[in-house]
């Protein structure tokens, strides 16, 4: 009987001790890093336009990634009276011109294209018409590294997904609008691992990205670069930004001199330049709003009918 009582007391003591042990280190909350804090604590300039929110901030004194950065973000909630469309021109045309032509209220540049021939070099389908394909490299059967992400439009909302490795896989998809680009930045709320053997990925450039949040919000984001006032970002840095912005999925689009965010003139938008360019495109070599490059295709925001 004494042995039985001792065993019961030992078991109870062990259970109490187990309950009072501190949580394991694996369950500890990760400490935010310096750059995520800088992004969250920034005093963003915010303008609201019929439910959409335009945010802008100039990180100076090497506040972000130990560099100067200018970031502009347009948030489009699911219930905003707008939807997303793709635009394309056979002759390269500025993002702002393509947007105005189609009655858009906002636009960013789209996917990659041939500067001389003007044609898309990633798969593009608009309203059921194939307008561009994934150009072949040394391996004609498989796609290039910047063609591993796509988005299709579902009731005017982008859905981002990882593409099949077969170069022409998008042709079999039964949807009216597809734009391929890459690399993928965020999938299922996690940063996507990036290769380290391409300067396009490892070096800093102007960047354009699109993302979607769990609540259905669409994020259009531009990062300026090639200036002492705005260094631009590497792809891994852009991955972090899109995740910190709350994106569940995010896709890199064409960048460099193509990077442009345009907004239609609206009295609710403070300090919007007369030409509607929100950021500082770099094609003229100046840090102003007049270096916009003519591009092949765009992502535009259009009022619902």
**pLDDT per residue over 137-187, tens digit each?**
899 999 999 999 999 999 999 999 999 999 999 999 999 999 999 999 999
DSSP state string for 147-162: GSEEEEEETTEEEEEE
Q: Look over the chain and give the mean of its residue pLDDT values, rounded to a whole number.
A: 91
The pLDDT value given to residue 157: 97
More confident position, 20 or 58: 58
Residue with tokens 């939807």: 83
Average pLDDT over residues 104-122: 97
pLDDT tens profile 69-93: 999 999 999 999 999 999 999 999 9
Structure tokens at 65: 């990634």
What is the Cα 23 distance to its own chain's centre?
A: 36
**Cβ-proximal residues to 238 (8 Å cutoff; 6+ apart), any chain:** 185, 207, 209, 223, 252
> Cα-flanking dihedrals φ and ψ of residue 239, to 5°?
-55, -45
First to last CA, the chain: 83
pLDDT for the residue numbered 29: 55
pLDDT reported for residue 33: 87
Q: What is the pLDDT of residues 216-239, one digit of tens each?
A: 999 999 999 999 999 999 999 999
pLDDT for the residue numbered 46:
97
> What is the per-residue pLDDT across 33-66, written as a single tens digit (0 to 9) for each?
899 999 999 999 999 999 999 999 999 999 999 9
Burial classification of residue 270, based on how many CB atoms lie within 10 Å of its CB (0-12 exposed, 13-18 middle, 19 or more buried): exposed
Instruction: Provide the angle, in degrees to the nearest 10, between the axes of the packed helices 34-41 and 235-244.
Output: 50
């Amino acid at each position: 009987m004494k042995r039985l009582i001792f065993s019961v007391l030992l078991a109870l003591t062990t259970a109490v001790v187990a309950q009072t042990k501190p949580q394991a280190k694996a369950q500890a909350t990760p400490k935010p890093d310096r750059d995520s804090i800088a992004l969250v604590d920034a005093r963003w300039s915010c303008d609201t336009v019929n439910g959409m929110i335009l945010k802008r901030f100039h990180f100076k004194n090497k506040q972000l990634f130990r560099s100067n950065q200018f970031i502009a973000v347009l948030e489009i909630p699911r219930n905003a009276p707008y939807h997303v469309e793709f635009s394309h021109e056979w002759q390269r045309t500025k993002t702002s011109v393509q947007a105005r032509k189609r009655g858009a209220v906002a636009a960013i540049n789209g996917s990659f294209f041939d500067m001389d021939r003007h044609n898309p070099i990633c798969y593009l389908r608009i309203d059921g018409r194939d307008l561009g394909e994934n150009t072949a490299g040394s391996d004609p059967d498989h796609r290039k590294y910047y063609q591993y992400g796509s988005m299709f439009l579902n009731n005017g909302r982008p859905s981002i997904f990882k593409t099949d490795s077969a170069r022409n896989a998008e042709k079999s998809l039964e949807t009216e609008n597809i734009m391929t680009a890459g690399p993928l930045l965020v999938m299922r709320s996690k940063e996507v691992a990036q290769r380290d053997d391409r300067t396009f990925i490892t070096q800093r450039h102007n960047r354009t990205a699109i993302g979607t949040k769990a609540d259905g919000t669409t994020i259009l984001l531009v990062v300026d670069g090639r200036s002492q006032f705005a260094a631009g970002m590497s792809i891994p840095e852009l991955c972090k930004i899109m995740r910190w912005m709350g994106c569940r999925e995010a896709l890199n689009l064409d960048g460099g001199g193509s990077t442009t965010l345009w907004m239609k003139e609206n009295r609710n938008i403070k300090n919007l330049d007369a030409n509607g360019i929100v950021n500082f495109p770099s094609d003229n070599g100046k840090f102003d709003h007049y270096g916009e490059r003519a591009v092949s295709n765009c992502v535009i925001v259009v009022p619902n009918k």
